[in-house]
Amino acid sequence: MLADLVRFGLDAYIAIWQYSHMEINAPADRLSLTFAALADPTRRAILARLALGNADVSELRKPFALTQPTISKHLNVLERAGLVMCTRDAQRRPRTLVAVPLKDIDEWLEPFRRFWEQTFASLDEYLKVMQKKQKTRGRTKR
Protein backbone atom coordinates (compact mmCIF):
# COMPACT_ATOMS: atom_id res chain seq x y z
CA MET A 1 0.00 0.00 0.00
CA LEU A 2 2.84 2.37 0.84
CA ALA A 3 4.48 1.47 -2.48
CA ASP A 4 1.24 2.36 -4.30
CA LEU A 5 1.10 5.75 -2.57
CA VAL A 6 4.72 6.43 -3.43
CA ARG A 7 4.17 5.39 -7.06
CA PHE A 8 1.02 7.56 -7.27
CA GLY A 9 2.93 10.50 -5.81
CA LEU A 10 5.78 9.96 -8.24
CA ASP A 11 3.37 9.72 -11.19
CA ALA A 12 1.68 12.95 -10.13
CA TYR A 13 5.06 14.65 -9.68
CA ILE A 14 6.18 13.57 -13.16
CA ALA A 15 2.91 14.73 -14.72
CA ILE A 16 3.16 18.14 -13.02
CA TRP A 17 6.81 18.49 -14.02
CA GLN A 18 6.04 17.64 -17.66
CA TYR A 19 3.15 20.11 -17.73
CA SER A 20 5.18 22.90 -16.17
CA HIS A 21 8.03 22.40 -18.64
CA MET A 22 5.88 22.37 -21.76
CA GLU A 23 6.91 24.92 -24.32
CA ILE A 24 3.81 27.06 -24.04
CA ASN A 25 5.48 30.10 -25.56
CA ALA A 26 7.41 28.14 -28.17
CA PRO A 27 7.11 29.46 -31.70
CA ALA A 28 4.10 27.83 -33.30
CA ASP A 29 3.99 26.56 -36.83
CA ARG A 30 2.50 28.88 -39.44
CA LEU A 31 -0.75 26.95 -39.76
CA SER A 32 -1.38 27.13 -36.00
CA LEU A 33 -0.71 30.87 -36.05
CA THR A 34 -3.11 31.25 -38.96
CA PHE A 35 -5.95 29.38 -37.30
CA ALA A 36 -5.36 31.20 -34.00
CA ALA A 37 -5.53 34.53 -35.83
CA LEU A 38 -8.73 33.53 -37.64
CA ALA A 39 -10.36 32.40 -34.39
CA ASP A 40 -11.22 36.00 -33.45
CA PRO A 41 -14.25 37.62 -35.14
CA THR A 42 -12.63 41.07 -35.09
CA ARG A 43 -9.62 39.79 -37.00
CA ARG A 44 -11.89 38.00 -39.49
CA ALA A 45 -13.77 41.26 -40.03
CA ILE A 46 -10.48 43.10 -40.58
CA LEU A 47 -9.47 40.51 -43.18
CA ALA A 48 -12.87 40.80 -44.87
CA ARG A 49 -12.36 44.56 -45.13
CA LEU A 50 -8.85 44.13 -46.51
CA ALA A 51 -10.19 41.72 -49.13
CA LEU A 52 -11.94 44.76 -50.62
CA GLY A 53 -8.67 46.67 -50.85
CA ASN A 54 -5.80 48.15 -48.88
CA ALA A 55 -6.61 50.26 -45.82
CA ASP A 56 -4.79 52.15 -43.12
CA VAL A 57 -5.24 51.59 -39.40
CA SER A 58 -7.70 54.46 -38.93
CA GLU A 59 -9.95 53.04 -41.68
CA LEU A 60 -9.87 49.60 -40.11
CA ARG A 61 -10.70 51.02 -36.69
CA LYS A 62 -13.89 52.84 -37.78
CA PRO A 63 -16.40 49.96 -37.62
CA PHE A 64 -15.21 48.80 -34.20
CA ALA A 65 -15.64 50.36 -30.80
CA LEU A 66 -12.00 49.60 -30.02
CA THR A 67 -9.03 51.75 -29.15
CA GLN A 68 -6.12 52.17 -31.54
CA PRO A 69 -3.78 50.05 -29.36
CA THR A 70 -6.32 47.22 -29.38
CA ILE A 71 -6.65 47.32 -33.17
CA SER A 72 -2.85 47.39 -33.41
CA LYS A 73 -2.66 44.22 -31.30
CA HIS A 74 -5.12 42.50 -33.64
CA LEU A 75 -3.06 43.66 -36.62
CA ASN A 76 0.14 42.36 -35.04
CA VAL A 77 -1.46 38.93 -34.60
CA LEU A 78 -2.58 38.96 -38.24
CA GLU A 79 0.85 40.09 -39.39
CA ARG A 80 2.66 37.44 -37.32
CA ALA A 81 0.39 34.80 -38.89
CA GLY A 82 1.30 36.10 -42.33
CA LEU A 83 -2.27 37.11 -43.18
CA VAL A 84 -1.58 40.82 -43.62
CA MET A 85 1.43 42.82 -44.60
CA CYS A 86 2.05 46.34 -43.35
CA THR A 87 3.64 48.93 -45.59
CA ARG A 88 4.62 52.58 -45.21
CA ASP A 89 5.22 55.01 -48.00
CA ALA A 90 8.09 57.47 -48.29
CA GLN A 91 6.22 60.30 -46.50
CA ARG A 92 5.86 58.12 -43.36
CA ARG A 93 2.07 58.12 -43.53
CA PRO A 94 0.21 55.68 -41.28
CA ARG A 95 0.90 52.09 -42.10
CA THR A 96 -1.21 50.59 -44.85
CA LEU A 97 -2.33 47.00 -44.58
CA VAL A 98 -2.57 44.50 -47.39
CA ALA A 99 -4.21 41.08 -47.22
CA VAL A 100 -1.95 38.14 -48.05
CA PRO A 101 -3.26 34.98 -49.80
CA LEU A 102 -4.02 32.08 -47.47
CA LYS A 103 -1.77 29.55 -49.22
CA ASP A 104 -1.04 27.52 -46.05
CA ILE A 105 -4.71 27.05 -45.27
CA ASP A 106 -5.47 26.05 -48.87
CA GLU A 107 -2.78 23.38 -48.72
CA TRP A 108 -4.10 22.10 -45.39
CA LEU A 109 -7.72 22.06 -46.59
CA GLU A 110 -7.05 20.35 -49.94
CA PRO A 111 -7.41 16.72 -48.72
CA PHE A 112 -10.68 17.63 -46.97
CA ARG A 113 -11.92 19.41 -50.09
CA ARG A 114 -11.14 16.34 -52.25
CA PHE A 115 -12.86 14.04 -49.74
CA TRP A 116 -16.06 16.09 -49.65
CA GLU A 117 -16.14 16.57 -53.42
CA GLN A 118 -15.90 12.79 -53.87
CA THR A 119 -18.54 12.22 -51.20
CA PHE A 120 -20.97 14.68 -52.80
CA ALA A 121 -20.32 13.22 -56.25
CA SER A 122 -21.12 9.74 -54.88
CA LEU A 123 -24.26 11.07 -53.22
CA ASP A 124 -25.31 12.73 -56.48
CA GLU A 125 -24.86 9.45 -58.38
CA TYR A 126 -26.80 7.57 -55.70
CA LEU A 127 -29.69 10.04 -55.90
CA LYS A 128 -29.78 9.71 -59.71
CA VAL A 129 -29.98 5.92 -59.39
CA MET A 130 -32.74 6.22 -56.78
CA GLN A 131 -34.71 8.61 -59.02
CA LYS A 132 -34.44 6.16 -61.94
CA LYS A 133 -35.66 3.33 -59.69
CA GLN A 134 -38.53 5.51 -58.54
CA LYS A 135 -39.56 6.26 -62.14
CA THR A 136 -39.22 2.59 -63.11
CA ARG A 137 -41.39 1.47 -60.20
CA GLY A 138 -44.01 4.04 -61.11
CA ARG A 139 -44.25 2.73 -64.70
CA THR A 140 -44.45 -0.95 -63.80
CA LYS A 141 -47.26 -0.39 -61.31
CA ARG A 142 -49.54 1.12 -63.94
State the pLDDT at residue 16.
Answer: 75
What are the residue ranges spanned by the domains of the chain?
Answer: 29-100, 102-142
Full-prediction pTM beyond 0.75?
A: no
**pLDDT for the residue numbered 142:** 47
pLDDT of residue 55: 85
Per-residue burial over 54-79, b = 16 or more CB atoms within 10 Å of its CB, e = otherwise: ebeeeebbeeeeeeeeebbebbebbb
- The yes-or-no verdict on residue 34 having pLDDT over 60 is yes
Give tens-digit pLDDT for 104-119. 677 888 899 999 999 9
Q: Which CATH class is domain 29-100?
A: mainly alpha
Model confidence over 116-135: pLDDT tens digits? 999 999 999 999 999 998 88
- 54 Cβ contact partners less than 8 Å away, ≥ 6 residues apart: 96, 97, 98
